Structure 1
Amino acid sequence: MAIDVAPGLVLQESELVFTYILASGPGGQNVNKVATAAQLRFDAARSPSLCDRTRERLIRLAGSRATREGVIVITARNFRTQQKNREDAIGRLSELIREAAHRQTFRVKTRPGRAARQRRLDGKAHRAGIKRGRRVSSDD
């Protein structure tokens, strides 16, 4: 099965390794007996789905979630079921990859044209005239 992360970027389910661990938090007695927290491991350094630029940026964005070998570890324990925690972990990984794959558009600096400068000056002169008209004349 494939996971559609971004346009033109698809991860294979075989690239994800899940382990289930005991979770803290709500769940009553169940919390001590059932391993509901999902731990997702994704080997970003050796993933054939990622280009070099995305791979490097992903590992950098992952920060402390990435090991020295380039494996990203995401632990999801927000929900009471394995399935929901698994989906949460996949969603968080997808969001991280989407952010790494996004190319930022750089702003091209421009300057105002002659007409725009003239409009600005005309507006300032108009405003100054209005304020000049409000002054109280001292013709005593």
Structure 2
Amino acid sequence: MKRSIPTTLILLALAGPALAQSSHQGHGAAPAAGATPMGKMGMGMMDMESMQAMMKTMMPAAGDAASTKDFKAADMKMMHDMAVPYTGNPDVDFRAKMIPHHQGAIDMAKVALAHAKDETTKAMAAQIIKDQEREIAEMREWLTKNAPK
């Protein structure tokens, strides 16, 4: 299958957001025994092999369940949307990256609502949507009032 965008270009475009996401997995949970959260290169750097392995897990596969396809689409959209230029202002940059990160959580929660069977999963997803929408609104309001024009 011929791809319209070279894999290397995709990897480079997603490197920063991918690192942000991988370091945020579990929202404070310790990595699994033996896991290296930032790849083989350590904090702030992910080697190409680790990045390619991570990207491969996000690409749609023919045998994926419908929910998996939807989760992967949400993951890719979030990673794409997180690729915003840095301003050098940590207050602005934090919010500019967190807004699409939170939107990704909303999109994943919507997938869970559409596909999950467990009522506690659905309740958690509904709460995540509520909380993340509120936080996105707060961040956008702050940016409107405080970001340099």
Of structures 1 and 2, the one scoring higher in RCO (CA 8 A, sep 6+) is 1
Bigger radius of gyration among the two: 1
Q: TM-score, normalised by structure 2?
A: 0.26
Q: TM-score, normalised by structure 1?
A: 0.27
Q: Which has the higher helix share?
A: 2
